[in-house]
A and B are shown apart, each in its own frame.
Chain A
Amino acid sequence: MPRYGIAVDTTKCIGCHACRVACQNQNELDFNQTFNSIAEVERGKFPSYAKEFAPLQCNHCEDAPCQRVCPTGAIYTTPEGVVYVHRNRCVGCKYCIEACPYKVRIVDHHKGIVIKCWLCIDLIREGKEPACVTTCPNQVRIFGDLDDPNSRISRFIAEHRAQPLRPDLNTRPKIFYKRS
């Protein structure tokens, strides 16, 4: 079974929010809810000043803190490595929101459950790529199998030494970032 992940090249991101809108469209979310957001980081001192756009989404951690704290066992990892919330099991206690160090989980007040990026698993299973990946005008995101050393994502991670965010938290995320 493949182990899917995404590599993000923040040096290419222009902060257009197309991925956010595509995600909202794909997952039929409210205008103020999204599974991915774009953080803006500014650093440096004039004249060497830089602004970075960093798209954030569920990191599909292999040792997911949300999965560990979920009392109902609603959070599980699919064979493809996608951390998934079982919508008929979640009670909406929001413990996972507190436990997630990346703070990418939201409450769906219509269904009363916690929702988050599920890597568009329905599209993946049809052999397609997640909506945020295909919609990006600058191809910031690269989707693929992390276990296949010849996949585009594995070569990208190796070439640019892409790292997950906060690897020191030991959650072993599957979203890798190439940052300036």
Chain B
Amino acid sequence: MPEGAWGWLIISYLFLAGAGAGAFVAAVACDLLAPDWSKALARAGSLAAGPLVAIGTACLVLDLEAGLWEPWRQMFLVSNPTSMISWGVVILSVFIPVALLYAAALNNISFVGQYLQKYVWHLEVIGTPLAIATAIYTGILIAVVNGVPFWNTPMMPVLFLASAISTGLAVAMIGAALIDITTIRTLSNFALGHVIFLTFEGIVLMLLFFMSLTRSGEAATSAQILISGMLSPYFWALVVVLGILVPFALSVVEYYEYGEMPKHLVVGADLCVLIGGMSLRALIIFSGSPPQILT
């Protein structure tokens, strides 16, 4: 397994930022699409979005060294427009407050929420592009790294976006079940989202592997570590079976058995999606092999 500079903190950040951004998108979708009697998913998603992204950002800061001990150095973080981290800092510092305000508005929290009731639509219009930018940015962050050929492909942001939306939807659905379990019918409606985005994620993942196997020797090495090498048990068990196939099957059943499926299976499918999303990011980070310098 190749040794990289990034570990679990960065992986957690990639996962939490993706899930938070996805939860925001799920909340907006529910707020616009779901009938009035069933807004639990929108409320849960909006409540989760801001804090998740903020915790993810905290992981990112904890991974710093000099920037953590001497925090004023973080001022410099926005000074290179060619660096994806500079862009990310800007996107995150706008998205987190917008997501928190949206949560306040939808859940009627304090006077801020009451004041913002009129501006929910505005927050949705501003927040959705920012949420999508956050989700895509986590993929671009590693896609521009040409020191690791496996990551260096435009498929990566697409994969991360698909995974972010399905994990975000899972977070929102678990939250909705916690807030109001009678909302199980809404969850059945949104299970269709899982079916769509898990299918999309599966296809993108497949394309990524087909292309990596032929693109360059190093990308193929990374892909092989995941398909048949050292990390393959984790990849097949956690990402493919637990993360995609099981929740896909459960979501199809959930959608057709409208509101009739046992609750623990509904929440179980969402937990599987979350485990799959986290594992996917961890395995992509851990399998990145550097270029072969001496041939």
Contact = CB atoms under 8 A, between A and B. Distances in A.
Interface of A: 39, 41, 52, 54, 56, 65, 68-74, 88-95, 97-103, 107, 109, 111-113, 165-166, 169
7 contacts: A52-B294, A56-B293, A91-B74, A94-B5, A101-B291, A113-B65, A166-B291
Interface residues of B, number: 35
Contact of B294 (A54, A91, A97, A98): A54
Given A65-B146, A91-B67, A92-B64, A101 B79 contact: no
A72 B79 contact: yes
Contacts of B85: 69, 71, 93, 95
B290 interface: yes
B144 A112 contact: no
Given A92-B66, A165-B294, A99 B76 contact: no
Closest 7 CB pairs of A and B: A91-B67, A112-B65, A92-B65, A112-B66, A71-B85, A72-B76, A97-B5
Contacts of B74: 91
A102 B86 contact: no
**Main DSSP-derived SS at the B contact region:** loop
B76 A65 contact: no
Contacts of A113: 65-66
A165 B295 CA distance: 9
A102 B293 contact: yes
A165 B292 CA distance: 10
Interface in B47-71: 63-70
Interface of B: 4-6, 63-70, 73-74, 76-80, 82-86, 89, 142, 144-148, 288, 290-291, 293-294
A165 B89 contact: no
A73 to B, nearest CB: 4
A74 B288 CA distance: 25
Contact of B76 (A39, A91, A98, A101): A91
Contacts of B146: 65, 99, 101, 169
Contacts, number: 111
Given A165-B294, A169-B291, A69 B66 contact: no
Contacts of A65: 145-147
A69 B294 contact: no
A54 B66 CA distance: 33
A69 B144 contact: yes
Nearest to A106: B5
Contacts of A98: 4-6, 142, 145, 147-148, 288
A100 B293 contact: no
A178 to B, nearest CB: 14
Contacts of B67: 91-93, 112
A71 B86 contact: yes
A102 B290 CA distance: 8
A99 to B, nearest CB: 5
B291 A69 contact: no
Contacts of B290: 101, 103
Nearest to B7: A94
